[in-house]
Amino acid sequence: MSSILTNNSAMVALQTLKSINNDLSKTQAMISTGKAVGSARDNSAVWAISKVMESDVKGFKAISDSLNLGSSTVAVARNASEKVTDLLTDIKAKVVAAQEENVDRSKIQSDIVALREQIVSVVGAAQFNGLNLVNGSETSVSVLSSLDRDSSGGVSSSDITVNAQDLSTGDYAAKAVLTGSTNASTNGDTAGFQLDNGGGTGTITIDDSVDAFAAGDSITVAIGDQTATYTVTADDVAATTTADIVAVGLKNAVDALGVDGLVVDYDSASAGNLDFTNSSTNDVGVSAQFSNAGSGGLSALSAIDVSSSAGASAALGNIEALIDISIDAAAAFGSAQGRIDIQSDFISSLSDSLKSGIGTLVDANMEEASARLQALQVQQQLGVQSLSIANQAPQTILSLFR
């Protein structure tokens, strides 16, 4: 049945053309934006996932900046520690030169003082954006290193902790706690002597009767190029025989070094005395250094004085301990900087992976979109022609009335 009121063919052609135009609009938007999922209307689930991942990418960009800042800060501290090590090595050369009798020790001491002042300058200048990790003002610094997202969507941050290293030389207060045997330094905070081979003896006395120990005080004994340290604890201070406890603790630390031919005896009848005997075939230098609690890591540097033979002998062991401190500091900073740099590289790779994942979810396949655009343009043309033909159908009814 033909009708001039209802044109079913035209309605079908019109709906088809609308569908084609809608698909063509989507394809054109896909090509212009480069995204298959440009809004939540396109695919709500995929769009939501992509937005969460995009927020993580922006977060990792901030983390990358934090890691770069942390790496620069630690690099400054590491360079300072390495420079301090070089300066301490120069001081050691001066101390070794002072062991000779026929030298002008006062001039050597002047050189040592100049090098010590240079160390103070290096430590004071080793700051990045106001943060100094070597002057004793900080204990540690945390560097933001990651954002961790769990399966439920919860987010937490992770940090890399960098421990500060105290290479300052200030806040040193000598205490009359150490005395030595013949030819030893006698200024109260250092003691040193030479043990002849084949039975040479010497004694270090730890005395707290004038200046009491405090928790955190420490005594370092250097034998040759090895060092042993005992740090006073709060329990030690609370005891009535602190000097004896410290002496025993220091003896155990020296014994643990395993120095060939060296015997250290402690006699409880002689409070605080440590008797050294060298039964080896080589002469051995022994020195002891007191450091008070809260003093700078290199505070013992101020006690090095090679103006006398005894001072030069004591300084030889003490400078070795100081060099070890600066080397350990540089190594610690180097390890921390390496870890930060590795994390920075990982964050960069992780960000690239997330961006690639987002692209896989929402980016348009441009080859497919191009082919689809051409196909839809042909369909649109055919749809227009089909609608035109359908609209002409009622015209045929006129022939029935001729």
What are the domain boundaries of the chain? 47-169+330-354, 178-294
Distances (CA, A) of 120 to 106, 123, 190, 355: 21, 5, 21, 48
Global pTM reads 0.63
Contact 185, 313 (CB under 8 A): yes
Contact 80, 165 (CB under 8 A): no
The rounded radius of gyration (Å) of the Cα atoms in the chain is 40
Per-residue pLDDT, 294: 57
Sheet strands (E) in 3-89: none
Q: Which of the two residues, 348 and 6, has the higher pLDDT score?
A: 348
Residue 37, H or E segment: none
φ, ψ (nearest 5 deg) of residue 206: -105, 115
CATH architecture designation of domain 47-169+330-354: Up-down Bundle (1.20)
107: CB partners within 8 A, 6+ apart: none
For the segment 218-266, what is each residue's pLDDT rounded down to a tens digit?
Answer: 888 888 778 888 888 888 888 878 888 888 999 999 999 999 999 999 8
Whole-number average pLDDT of the chain: 83
Q: Which of the two residues, 234 and 281, has the higher pLDDT score?
A: 281
For the segment 106-159, what is each residue's pLDDT rounded down to a tens digit?
Answer: 899 999 999 989 998 999 899 998 899 998 888 889 999 888 888 777 888 889
Range picked from 68-77, 220-229, 359-368 for highest mean pLDDT: 68-77
